[in-house]
Amino acid sequence: MKMSGKVNRKIKIAAAQLGPINKVDGRPSTIRRLLELMREAASSSCDLVVFPELAFTPFFPHWNIEDEGELESYFESEMPNQNVQALFDEARKLEIGFSIGYAELAIDDGIKKYFNTSILVDKSSGIIGKYRKIHLPGFRSPQKGHPFQNLEKMYFEPGNLGFGTWETMGAKIGMCICYDRRWPESFRSLGAQGADIALLGYNTPMHNPLFPESDHLTCFHNALSMQAGAYQNGMWVVGVAKAGCEEGVMQIGQSSIIAPSGEIVSMCTSLEDELIYHSCDLGLSDSYKSKIFAVGSDESRM
Ligand code: CDV
């Protein structure tokens, strides 16, 4: 459809928030939950459904895991693999794209490498994009006296793929993961490539053992960083939480779809599995880029 000489570009995106995944749950029950959310998104005619960071397992960096076999049980050494194949099969059948975060075990020149990864999958279930988390929060060793750990720096290495964008479903889409959203260069790297949409999953505890004086601002800082990223780059941002009390760690929800204006157009209201969606008008993104920010132009448009 043409409007004012411009093609009307829209993509309907769902944010599939997950409630807690506990240790005993196992992948089969988690996959069933992901499938249910994916089916709900497809029945609402969504083009794309976005799942959180480390969506197949509990957020294991909250624990000090000493046994290598146990630690590797949280990683995927292939994607897809037989444990998660059902998600790819269903997506192909429903003709819906998806993005999901997982712990990736890669073999590089015979050496094992561990990444916190997210992928972008098109409507025919092909993996067209991969991002490996660059900003890793937390510590390289367990912290005494903390009620829970964040050992991402111990378990993962920083991503080595940069911030990429991929054209699919009529949009230019990029990804970042959780802590990345607090750093302006994450969104900026995508914005500078002309991204229409940034997808990101997060696992954000209510309580920060290192910085407890900011606990009352946890949800504010989540929204602030995503809304600023959206507005300052004229793009849609879809932020998706793993929420609720997971193995004793309370995590925020508030998964949100944010317009290029910086306005939150839809937000989850629970700390459980919950789907929200919005028909994202990419013309709005074009408008912010060409009128206010004029990315790539020398001229000020104000
Ligand atoms: N998974 C994360 O990256 N979590 C961080 C916490 C540890 C501050 C976050 O930015 O939400």
What per-residue confidence (pLDDT) applies to 160? Answer: 98
**Per-residue model confidence as pLDDT tens for the chain (302 residues):** 444 445 689 999 999 999 999 999 999 999 999 999 999 999 999 999 999 999 999 999 999 999 999 999 999 999 999 999 999 999 999 999 999 999 999 999 999 999 999 999 999 999 999 999 999 999 999 999 999 999 999 999 999 999 999 999 999 999 999 999 999 999 999 999 999 999 999 999 999 999 999 999 999 999 999 999 999 999 999 999 999 999 999 999 999 999 999 999 999 999 999 999 999 999 999 999 999 888 566 665 55
What per-residue confidence (pLDDT) applies to 6? Answer: 55
Catalytic residue among 46, 90, 104, 178, which?
178
Ligand 1, residue 177: give the atom nearest the CA: 3
156 ligand 1 Cβ < 6 A: no
Residue 90, CA atoms < 13 Å, CB-side half-sphere: 20
- The predicted-structure confidence for 153-194, as pLDDT tens digits, reads as follows 999 999 999 999 999 999 999 999 999 999 999 999 999 999
What per-residue confidence (pLDDT) applies to 4? Answer: 46
What per-residue confidence (pLDDT) applies to 2? Answer: 44
H/E stretch holding 32 reads: helix 26-43
What is the value of pTM for the model shown? 0.96
Q: What's the CA gap between 280 and 64, in Å, rounded?
A: 41
Answer for the pair 13, 278: CB distance below 8 angstroms, yes or no: yes
What per-residue confidence (pLDDT) applies to 257? Answer: 99
Answer for the pair 90, 40: CB distance below 8 angstroms, yes or no: no
In terms of Cβ atoms closer than 10 Å to its own Cβ (0-12, 13-18, 19+), residue 145 is: exposed
Q: What's the CA gap between 80 and 88, in Å, rounded?
A: 7
What's the CA angle centered on 169, arms 191 and 17, to 5 degrees? Answer: 75
Which residue owns the Cα nearest ligand 1 atom 1? 203
CA distances (Å), 9 to each of 1, 113, 146, 232, 261, in order?
8, 39, 48, 21, 17
In the annotation, is 219 catalytic?
no
Helix locations, 95-243, DSSP H: 152-155, 184-192, 218-233
- State how beta strands 165-168 and 171-177 pair: antiparallel
222 ligand 1 Cβ < 6 A: no
Which residue owns the Cα nearest ligand 1 atom 3? 179
What per-residue confidence (pLDDT) applies to 296? Answer: 60
SS3 122: coil
Tokens of 268: 């989850």
SS3 229: helix
What per-residue confidence (pLDDT) applies to 299? Answer: 60
What per-residue confidence (pLDDT) applies to 161? Answer: 98
182 ligand 1 Cβ < 6 A: yes
Ligand 1, residue 133: give the atom nearest the CA: 3
| Cα first-last separation, the chain | 30
What 8-state DSSP symbol labels residue 275?
E
251 ligand 1 Cβ < 6 A: no
Catalytic residue among 46, 76, 133, 246, which?
133
Dist. CA 137 → ligand 1 center (Å):
6
- The predicted-structure confidence for 282-298, as pLDDT tens digits, reads as follows 999 999 999 988 856 66
Dist. CA 2 → ligand 1 center (Å):
42
- State how beta strands 171-177 and 264-267 pair: unpaired
Which residue owns the Cα nearest ligand 1 atom 7? 137
